[in-house]
Copies of this chain bind each other. A is one copy, B any other.
């Protein structure tokens, strides 16, 4: 048996950064910090503050760290290993994050979209292990998506596949899904969920509305991709009892093929850690 190694996975979200030390099966240690928004120097200082104690832990356990995987919300140029556009963390746009982090840590660095990381983790260790045609949607600070097909994450011809947040949802005015989501949840879905659980009817209605919007969006995606299963993750998926029935009802109405209406909708099994685990799994 080869000697065991650790990997580090970091999920860099619009609100929080979660870093884990991972042994290939389970999380050994984890740290969490708010995502810096002021400048890119601060961003790298905080990133290092997450990585250092994990390196320390590995040293104590006398196990080598093989590399670091990063999952980032935004579009990535996979050829040049650059973040092209991260709408929720604009300070890192066009940053050569891999080169920079290699300098700091002296470790191999891997980079992927956060929704891809989520889906990779759920496929390998989570809710959808037995499927091979899987659409993953992540509802958190923004809305991300990814598609697992033919034993891998589908990247598209230009690395731009799986961007449901940009879906135009009103052809009259060009409104996109993620804009509508921000408006509807006033950039604070957690607070509105809290209100809804306390019985606030307006908050309940907001989630019913969100559920319907997600249903339309997923029906549009199913009518193109026709996957076996959809897996839902991100912070908002944890309050799915507030919206998922509306999502399913709307999907049933707008999926064209009666066969495709049989699609399964599953919730994330790995929860908050899915993105970081999927990032750790990037390390080869």
Interface residues of A (CB under 8 A from B): 75, 77, 84-85, 133, 145, 147, 150, 155-172, 174, 176, 180, 212-213, 216-217, 219-228, 253-260, 262-263
Q: Give 4 new A-B contacts, CB below 8 A, not counting A159-B259, A170-B170.
A: A160-B223, A171-B180, A220-B220, A225-B225
8 A-B interface contacts by CB (under 8 A) = A145-B224, A158-B226, A158-B228, A160-B222, A160-B260, A162-B224, A168-B216, A171-B213
Contact between chains at B169 and A258 (CB < 8 Å) = no
Contacts of A155 in B (CB 8 A): 226
Contact between chains at A171 and B224 (CB < 8 Å) = no
Q: Give A203 to B9 CA distance when docked, in angstroms.
A: 56
Contact between chains at B219 and A158 (CB < 8 Å) = no
Contact between chains at B224 and A225 (CB < 8 Å) = yes
Contacts of A161 in B (CB 8 A): 223-226
Contact between chains at B212 and A160 (CB < 8 Å) = no
Contact between chains at A168 and B254 (CB < 8 Å) = yes
